[in-house]
Chains A and B, each alone.
Chain A
Amino acid sequence: MAAGRDEGAREAFLRGLKLGVPFGVVGFFLSASFGVLARQAGFSVAQAIVTAMIVFAGSAQFAALSVITVGGGIPAALTAGSLMNARFLAMGIALAPSLPGGPMKRAAQGQAVVDSSWALANRGDGTFDRWLLFGTTVPQYVTWTLGSVVGAIFGDALGDTHRLGLDAIYPVFFLSLLVAELRDGPSRWVAACGGLLALALVPISPPGVPILAASAVTLIGLVRRSR
């Protein structure tokens, strides 16, 4: 029994590794553009790379960086970054029942969550394949680190990331995950309502809050009896 479960785990992990590669490729360029922007904002090469390695959350990194670039302080930057990360609260709650072990072990496993691994490990029945999630995250962590190294060191040669259009990568990354999620009617409705709600909240709340607020539309799952 235990051996059989391990075999399934190994297979899921390997499948995850494979699934993570395209996201890793795109993540490389995202992280490289972070490295370039961080250097321009006054980070040292080491600081830009360490940020990618220990924060490992693109939207939070970009949000915090944009705050200090316009002259904001540490509290404001930490708040912006954490608000962008707030969606991981929702993702962590969703994932929780699928993680075995004590609180510390579950907390450690929860660190493997990135948007793409969480979405791909979602079995669509409310449970998650944790080994697939771990596998999907691995190549992305490697390329995220490498990308920041390349961006931080060679950023000067690369020039203006805005002119190069690299800011278009970020939405496409999430769009590819979204397209895979629009399987049925309820998913499409929730995507449309969540997007509209987020957009409506943009002018009246700090960046990041509209995204967390969009998760509230999933409460429609309470009133719908079948999917």
Chain B
Amino acid sequence: MTLTYTQVWVLIFGLAALTVLIKALGPVLLGGRELPPWFSRVIVLMAPALLSALVVTSVFATGRSWSVGAHTVGVGVAALMLWRRCSLVLSAVVAVLVTAGLRAI
């Protein structure tokens, strides 16, 4: 890392301020009013789209390139467990164990 101690603080407070701003923007600009029916049809689909993109990019990509690894297998096993209604905590533990196990081999 090339940042000084003070620069790290600048980064932390900058990131915190930007996060607050981003989270505030939607509620400030669009709050307190009724929105048309098409709006809610779009909104209900927002969660599956965003969550799927988060999962896919964290499993099949590193930075700006596609890549898979031991964690892909670990997460795959956890995906099956979640689908079979296992708890999140148990599935996460198994994902970690499988990933660590594969990397130890």
List residues of chain A with CB under 8 Å of any chain B CB: 22-23, 25-26, 29, 41-44, 47, 50-51, 54-57, 59-61, 64, 66, 68-69, 71, 73-74, 77-78, 81-82, 85-97, 99-103, 106-111, 113, 115, 118-119, 122, 124-127, 162-179, 181-182, 186-188, 190-199, 202-207, 210-211, 213-215, 217-222, 224, 227
Within the complex, the shortest CB–CB distance from B93 to chain A, in Å, comes to 9
Minimum Cβ distance to chain A for residue B80 (Å): 10
CB contacts (< 8 Å) of A94 on chain B: these are 26, 43, 46
Do B75 and A218 have beta carbons less than 8 Å apart?
no
Cβ–Cβ contact A194 & B27, under 8 A: no
Closest Cβ neighbor of A170 among chain B residues: B58
Classify the secondary structure of B's interface with A: helix
Q: Which of A26, A50, A119 contacts B12 (CB 8 A)?
A: A50
A99 cross-chain contacts in B, Cβ below 8 A: 27, 31-32
Contact B50 A215 (CB under 8 A): yes
Instruction: Tell me whether A199 and B22 are in contact (CB under 8 A).
Output: no
Number of interface residues of B (CB under 8 A): 81
Q: Flag if B25 contacts A92 (CB, 8 Å).
A: yes
Taking the nearest CB of chain B, how far is it from the CB of A89, in angstroms?
6
B interface residues (Cβ-Cβ under 8 A, vs A) = 1-3, 5, 7-16, 18-20, 22-35, 38-61, 63-66, 70-71, 74-75, 78-79, 82-83, 87-89, 91-92, 95-101, 103-104
Known A96-B31, A207-B63; contact A171-B12, beta-carbon cutoff 8 A: no
The reply to whether B45 and A89 contact each other, CB–CB distance below 8 Å, is: no
- Give the distance to chain A from B100, nearest Cβ to Cβ, in Å: 3
User: B99 to chain A: which residues have CB within 8 Å?
Assistant: 165, 167-168
- Nearest B residue (CB) for A207: B63
Given contacts A122-B44, A222-B42, contact A171 B58 (CB under 8 A): yes
**Chain A residues within an 8 Å CB radius of B57:** 198-199, 202, 207, 210-211
Which among A82, A103, A182, A207 is the interface contact of B64 at CB below 8 angstroms? A207
